[in-house]
Amino acid sequence: MHYDRAEIMKAAWVIVRRFQGNGETLPALLSRALTSAWFTAKLNASAAPRQPEALEARSVTDLQAQIQDMENRDTLGHEGIQRLADLRAACRAAEQRERAAAELEEKRALIASAEGRFATVVFTKKDGTRRVMRIQPAKLKYHVKGDAACEAAQKAVKTRAARHPNLMPVWDTEAAAPRSVNLETVSRIAVNGAVHEYPIH
C-alpha cells in the first residue's frame, strides 16, 4: 500500500497547531499527531474501494501458484485474506476466459478444416436472429487481396482481427460474398461428415 507521506505530515501539523499550548511539549505533541495522522490514513485506505492489481490479465497457472503460496502460509491477516479472495475470484474468471478462448480456437479450426469442401455453420446474428450459412473456407483467399492489398488495408485487417478475435471471415456460397461469423454465437458446425454442437453462454 502506498501512502502520501507529505499529506500525512501536513495532517499531523494541523493537529499540532490545533492543540499547541495545551501543556504538551512540541516533540510529544508532534509524535501523537503523527500517530493519529497515520491511523487516519490507513483507515481511509482500508475503506477506499479496492483497485484490483490487473489480476484479470494473469493466467490460471500463475494465479493458482499464488493461491497455493498464500494457502500454505501460517497466518494471513485481514489484507491477506482479502487478497486470497481476490486471487480466487480472478482465477475463476481466468478459467472461464481460457475455456472460452479454447472453444473459439476449436470452432475456428473445425471451420478451416473444411478447406475447399462445403460446411454449414449455425450462429446468432447481432440482432438476435438465427442464421444458417453454407460456406467454403478455402474459397475466401481467391476473393481477398491478402499480401497484395495496400498497406493501409492490411493494417486495417490486422487491427480488426486483434479487436474482434471472435469474428472469422468466411466465404458465403449462397451470397457468393465474404462474410464474418461470430464464433462466440456459433451453436452448430457441420463439417467433414460430422456435426458439432455448442451451447450458447
pLDDT tens by residue, 42-75: 877 766 555 555 777 788 999 999 999 989 988 8
Q: Whole-angstrom Cα distance, residue 112 to residue 130?
A: 21
Tell me the mean pLDDT in the region 163-168: 82
Residue, of 91 and 154, whose pLDDT is higher: 91
**Contacts for 140 with CB less than 8 Å, ≥ 6 apart:** 169, 170, 171, 178
Using the Cα atoms of residue 26, residue 31, residue 36 and residue 42 in order, give the sign of their dihedral: positive
Grid coordinates representing 118? 462445403
pLDDT band at 160 (very low <50, low <70, confident <90, very high): low
pTM for this entry: 0.57
Q: Whole-angstrom Cα distance, residue 85 to residue 65?
A: 14
Residue-level pLDDT at 49: 57
Percent of the chain with pLDDT over 90: 35
* Domains by residue range for the chain, with CATH: 5-97 (no CATH), 113-197 (2.30.30)
Residue-level pLDDT at 147: 47
Say how far residue 74 (Cα) sits from the centre of its chain: 31
pLDDT mean across residues, the chain: 83
Grid coordinates representing 112? 478451416
- Does the pLDDT value for residue 186 go beyond 90? yes
